[in-house]
Amino acid sequence: MGINLYFRLLQPYFNATIVLFCLSISSSLMATNTMNVDSLRNKSSHVSSKSKGKLVATKKKTNSKTKSKTTKKTSNIHKSKAKTSPNRILVADTKLDSVSTLSFMTIREKILTEARSMIGIKYKSGGKTPNGFDCSGFVIHVLGRFDYQMSACSADQSKCGKSIKPQEAKPGDLIFFGNKNRVHHVGIITEIDAKKMMMIHSSSSRGVVEEDIMKSDYWLKRIRIIRDLESIPRQKGLTMN
């Protein structure tokens, strides 16, 4: 009886101890589970950040390659356009293989510059050098600097090249004078508009001069033909000296 009473008195303490022990074990298990979940979350976050980093790096590489290809294509297009661009003027110090490689307007300007540099040189019958010119010799010398092979007299020179109307004439074209039977004089047109037509030529009375044909009845009455410079045959190549 005494022992049974003793156990009955201690039973509540045993029950409380068992409950506390169970609670302790349960808390321990929950803490362990929480740590595992956090660990998994951290790993997942780390993996996700790595994946994002790889995706960003891949996108950057792709964009870089695309930009590089686009830049190369644009560069090639510009190079192609530069190669095929029309109306390009080539200036060279040596002979060129084709007349078409140099703008005719540039040739015209150079011819006028060369002709004007001779102003003041005296007239000389049959002269073809800066020591003295006649009209055809002056044209032979000036155009010869640019590989035009002109005939010895103005009458023969007038038969070379395409005939054009006065309103179609441009600086550098040749203008011929004479009577009904023959051509006997030639000059180089230097300026032309509605009010004037300037030419440079070797006059028998004044030597090489530049004057306005419109102000001279003598020359106006004797105009026979105008020849287009571009239609006059040339040797291949261009002498620039």
Please compute the mean of the pLDDT values over residues 57-62 and round it to a whole number.
51
208 falls in which pLDDT band (50, 70, 90)? very high
Of the ranges 54-63, 83-92, 143-152, 231-240, the best mean pLDDT one: 143-152
Please state, in angstroms and rounded to a whole number, the distance separating the CA atoms of residues 42 and 28.
Answer: 21
Domain 99-231 has CATH 3.40.50.720: no
- Is the pLDDT at 179 greater than 70? The verdict is yes
Strand segments, DSSP code E, in the chain are 128-129, 132-133, 163-164, 174-178, 183-192, 197-203, 207-212, 223-227
> What is the CB-side half-sphere exposure of residue 4 using CA atoms within 13 A?
1
- Residue-wise pLDDT tens digits, 31-47: 555 555 455 455 544 44
- Residue-wise pLDDT tens digits, 75-131: 554 444 434 333 332 333 333 344 444 566 789 999 999 999 999 999 999 999 999
pLDDT attached to residue 63: 55
pLDDT attached to residue 103: 64
Please state, in angstroms and rounded to a whole number, the distance separating the CA atoms of residues 24 and 13.
Answer: 17
Query: What contacts 70, CB < 8 A, 6 or more positions away?
Result: none
Of the candidate ranges 56-70, 106-120, 158-172, the one whose mean pLDDT is the lowest: 56-70
Of the candidate ranges 44-53, 59-68, 97-106, 206-215, the one whose mean pLDDT is the lowest: 44-53
Please state, in angstroms and rounded to a whole number, the distance separating the CA atoms of residues 126 and 138.
Answer: 10
Q: Does the reported pTM lie above 0.85?
A: no
Query: What contacts 195, CB < 8 A, 6 or more positions away?
Result: 214
